[in-house]
Structure 1
């Protein structure tokens, strides 16, 4: 089953493009983050990794064992700027993790194969 979209794809792409062009307002950033989280879930469906970009959104992705209660065993968390840089190719997974910009825990919490889009 594919992920359910809440963000219109064209609106999401427009927000990501605006963010990449320097627009950093909260509504644009929120739309870009939520759109890219939905895009990740669509490209890598599953429930084994939880990706958190507070305060804007969270998604589950990557095929594997499903998590049902408590803290997920595979969690990725970062701020909005880091997330959008990762999905757009502005920074690499290895660089972001190495600089401590991404907290990734669990065996499946490496998103380098999924990013950038």
Structure 2
């Protein structure tokens, strides 16, 4: 008797899912999600957010930046929580990228949400930039 497991014929009583993504439905990261709001509230109150909350807030906003400015020519680093490559242009593949933006988590939250202007953060030295493409002002606030 032949095995029918590889058959393209539908079996009785089996409902096939419609064509589409195999991934479950997950809401996209939103700039003002609960975790971002919790981190901003803690910072506004003069407290340091709990480490997991701060980490997820930073990563949520980095993902939103990567979505808003797709590409791989600028690396945005927020140590120790995350880094993304974004902005269209020449792709970086090895070694230290020519266009780097780096800042601490609190500064990233402030800049990404519009509480601190990009130019002001760079002028104050809260954001370290290198390279000709490292100006993110066109993509911020998220």
Query: Are positions 1:19 and 2:30 aligned together?
Result: no
Query: Are positions 1:32 and 2:52 aligned together?
Result: no
3-state SS of 1:64 partner: coil
Query: Are positions 1:9 and 2:29 aligned together?
Result: yes
Hey, what does 1:3 align to over in structure 2?
none
What displacement does 1:9 show? 2.5
Name which of 64, 68, 72 aligns with 2:89: 64
Q: Kindly indicate whether the alpha-carbon contact (under 8 Å) linking 2:29 and 2:63 is maintained by their aligned counterparts in 1.
A: no
Name which of 102, 113, 116 aligns with 1:91: 116
Structure 1: gaps spanning 5 or more residues: 1-6
4+ residue segments displaced more than 6 Å: none
Normalising by structure 2, we get a TM-score of: 0.74
What displacement does 1:14 show? 1.1
Hey, what does 1:47 align to over in structure 2?
72
Query: Rg larger in 1 or in 2?
Result: 2
3-state SS of 2:121 partner: helix
Counterpart Cα distance in 2 of 1:107 and 1:14: 35
Hey, what does 2:132 align to over in structure 1?
107
Q: How many residues align?
A: 112
The CA RMSD over aligned residues, in Å, is: 2.0
Normalising by structure 1, we get a TM-score of: 0.89
Task: Specify which structure has the higher proportion of helix.
Answer: 1
